[in-house]
Amino acid sequence: MKISTILFAVLFIFSAASCSDDLERTNINPNETPVAQPDYLLTNAIKSTADTYWGTTNNLNGTLLFVQHVAKIQYTDVDRYIFTSASFESPWKSFYSGSLTDISKIIELGDQNANPNYKGVGLVLRSWVFLLLTDAYGDIPYSEAIDIDNHITPKYDAQKDVYHSLLNDLKTAAGLIDPSGKAIKGDVLYSGNLNKWIKFANSLRYRIALRIADREPELAQSVISEIPKDKLIGDGETAQLNYLASPNQNPIALFFETRDDYRVSKSIVETLRSLNDPRLPVFANKTETATPQGYVGVPNGLTTTDASNLGFSKTSKLGTYFTTAQTPAVILTTAEVLFDRAEAAARGFSSEDPQDLYNQAITASFKQFGITDAATISAYLAQSGVAYDASNFRKSIGNQKWIALFGQGLEAFAEWRRLDYPQLTPAVAGVLNGKFPLRYIYPGSEQSLNLKSYQAAVAHQGTDALTTKLWFDVY
């Protein structure tokens, strides 16, 4: 080897060693974009939140069992309320580090790009996700959440404070959204229709006002009086994500592609049967092996042996509607708004007619599930088990809202806890000493990763148990 070659190599080495530009260029990630786009983030936020909200852990394997819309035919442990600290890890994780992080970025980009409509829409979605979280867990990180640079161990805020902040955020959002302003893209909920977003914001706010109505009736009333009736979700304006064909199918449909663990609960089947409710064939399928009743529900919380003795083919599967790929994840319906207005009227928060709104709400729910025949509807409404009972609005609205919210587990669970109707019987072989679960337990990982905040929350709210009552749940 020539000495010049060596010298050349030496020079080469030392010149390269100090070349920082080259090193910096090497470390530019060629796989992901450094630029966030609000429209792409918005689609993702809506899709991923809807998946978590409508999916297995929150819905089928949790709240839908608690409210006895569905029951388990195998692996019945959760239907008997056997949960561990790992059971509610995934909703916490996907709502916080999935949904809320994307949404916060949309809000930030709305400010940066001077498009207040992204910010407003972001605030609506953020409020919805925080509402799902606090309804389920109670006290939750809110004021210090999604701010990792300043708060690596976010404190938990009292549920009361979370609801109050959400009421304010939604008011801000409805004020920010300007249908004549800059357009938004990527909106798979309302295709960029900003008027509908204002209505969604107001309807969510209405929902939260009633959520605190047993605790703080004055505040609930004053919030409701601020919301114009024509700025609420109306006919055909239900907030829902319409799923597509595989691989963008409805998460429940996806689950049933490979598994068969759930049946319709006996509680809802028998209620619908006793009311001659035309929604029964929508919610449930006839048993595969013909049975005299046609629709057979499964009692909640059987032991594995007792459940399997009932037989897979002699019990009703979830209605085909719910296991179809394109079936929407329903967030807030026309029917719910009407039930809410009926309740506000019944509580004297407004001067509307509760009975009329109640009937409209049931009619809207029928329409949602494809039943529009006027004679069927009026016959249904005329039954004594259905007719509005002015002496007990909780019973009438509670029972019918429970049916109308079929499939919307988290909301059905919150409203059942608040209205205390229908009066259900806990799981047959339940392990909570004859009690119902009244909340999710916090994920165990919080004890590894955010212990002091967790301990403060437990000290404030009470034992981290399924049976601990949340602040909003007065009765």
Partner 1 sequence: NYKFWENFTANLRIGNDHYNDRRKIRIAYGTNGTPYGSYQETAYALNENNVELTLDYNKKLSDDFALDILAGGNLQSNYYESNDQKAPKLAVSGLYTLNNSRDPLVSSSYYSQQKKNSVFSSGQLSFRNYAFLNVTARNDWSSTLPVQNNSYFYPSVNASVILSDALDIKSDALSYLKVRGGWSKVGKDSDPYLLVNTYPFNTPFGSNPLLTVNDKSLNSKLKPETTSSSEVGTEIGLFNNRVKVDLSYYNTNSYNQILNLDVSPSTGYNSKLLNAGKINNRGFEAQLNVTPVSTNGFKWDVTANFATNRSKVLKLDDAGLLQSYRIDTYDVDIVAPIGQKYGTLLGTAYLRNDKGQIVVDANGIPEADSNRKSLGSFQPKWTGGVTNTFSYKGVTLSFLVDAKVGGSLYSGSYATGLYTGVLAQTLPGRDAEHGGLAYYYSGNNKSTSPVQLIGSASVPNGETVYHDGIIFKGVTESGAANTAILPAEQYYKALYGIDEHNVFSSTYVKLRELTLGFALPSRWTSKLGASSASLSFIGRNLWIIHKNVPNIDPETALNTGNGQGQEDLTLPTTRSLGFSLRLNF
- If one asks whether residue 411 binds partner 1 (CB under 8 A), the answer comes out as no
Q: Residue 175 contacts by C-beta under 8 Å, 6 or more apart in sequence? A: 120
CA-to-CA distance for 440 and 223, rounded, in angstroms?
A: 28
Kindly determine how many residues on this chain lie close enough to bind partner 1 according to the rule CB under 8 A. 92
> How many other C-beta atoms lie within 10 A of the C-beta of residue 33?
8
CA-to-CA distance for 319 and 322, rounded, in angstroms?
A: 6
- If one asks whether residue 6 binds partner 1 (CB under 8 A), the answer comes out as yes
List 351, 384, 452, 459, residue binding partner 1 (CB under 8 A):
452
CA 180-182-188 angle, 5° bins: 100
Q: Which of 145, 116, 122 is nearest to 49 (CA)?
A: 122
The two tokens of residue 28 are: 């530019």
Crossing angle of helices 393-404 and 409-419, rounded to 10°: 170
CB of 121 to partner 1, least distance (A): 15
CB of 448 to partner 1, least distance (A): 5
CB of 395 to partner 1, least distance (A): 25
In the region spanning residues 243 to 302, those forming contacts with partner 1, defined by CB under 8 A, are: 244, 246-248, 257-258, 302
- If one asks whether residue 17 binds partner 1 (CB under 8 A), the answer comes out as yes
Show the binding pattern over residues 419-448: x = contacts partner 1 (CB under 8 A), - = does not. Answer: ---------xx-x-x-------x--xxxxx
> Which residue, 5 or 391, is less far from partner 1 as judged by CB?
5
- If one asks whether residue 104 binds partner 1 (CB under 8 A), the answer comes out as yes
In the region spanning residues 150 to 209, those forming contacts with partner 1, defined by CB under 8 A, are: 151-154, 186, 188
- If one asks whether residue 390 binds partner 1 (CB under 8 A), the answer comes out as no
CB of 356 to partner 1, least distance (A): 39
**Cα→Cα distances 353→83, 330, 350, 400, Å:** 43, 26, 9, 17
The two tokens of residue 404 are: 């109308």
Alpha helices in 143-284 (DSSP H): 159-176, 194-211, 217-226, 251-258, 266-274, 280-283
- If one asks whether residue 60 binds partner 1 (CB under 8 A), the answer comes out as no
CB of 98 to partner 1, least distance (A): 7
- If one asks whether residue 24 binds partner 1 (CB under 8 A), the answer comes out as yes
- If one asks whether residue 4 binds partner 1 (CB under 8 A), the answer comes out as no
- If one asks whether residue 92 binds partner 1 (CB under 8 A), the answer comes out as yes
> Which residue, 14 or 372, is less far from partner 1 as judged by CB?
14
Q: Which of 129, 142, 163 is nearest to 50 (CA)?
A: 129
> Which residue, 14 or 222, is less far from partner 1 as judged by CB?
14
> Which residue, 233 or 241, is less far from partner 1 as judged by CB?
241
CB of 87 to partner 1, least distance (A): 10
According to DSSP, the residues that pair with 318 across neighbouring strands are 284
List 79, 102, 135, 237, residue binding partner 1 (CB under 8 A):
102
Q: Which of 466, 414, 407, 441 is nearest to 55 (CA)?
A: 407
- If one asks whether residue 26 binds partner 1 (CB under 8 A), the answer comes out as yes
- Which SS3 state, helix, strand or coil, does residue 273 take? helix
> Which residue, 86 or 390, is less far from partner 1 as judged by CB?
86
CB of 123 to partner 1, least distance (A): 16
CB of 136 to partner 1, least distance (A): 14
CB of 353 to partner 1, least distance (A): 41
In the region spanning residues 125 to 154, those forming contacts with partner 1, defined by CB under 8 A, are: 140-141, 145-148, 151-154
> Which residue, 165 or 447, is less far from partner 1 as judged by CB?
447
> Which residue, 293 or 309, is less far from partner 1 as judged by CB?
309
Alpha helices in 74-193 (DSSP H): 89-93, 101-112, 116-137, 159-176
Show the binding pattern over residues 70-89: x = contacts partner 1 (CB under 8 A), - = does not. Answer: -------x----x-xxx---
The two tokens of residue 231 are: 């700025």
Torsion of Cα atoms, 81 then 470 then 60 then 77, to 10°: -10
Q: Residue 51 contacts by C-beta under 8 Å, 6 or more apart in sequence? A: 94, 251, 329
> Which residue, 34 or 292, is less far from partner 1 as judged by CB?
34
CB of 346 to partner 1, least distance (A): 35
CB of 338 to partner 1, least distance (A): 30
> Which residue, 236 or 452, is less far from partner 1 as judged by CB?
452
Q: Residue 366 contacts by C-beta under 8 Å, 6 or more apart in sequence? A: 278, 279, 372, 376, 377, 380
CA-to-CA distance for 53 and 331, rounded, in angstroms?
A: 9
CA-to-CA distance for 53 and 181, rounded, in angstroms?
A: 31
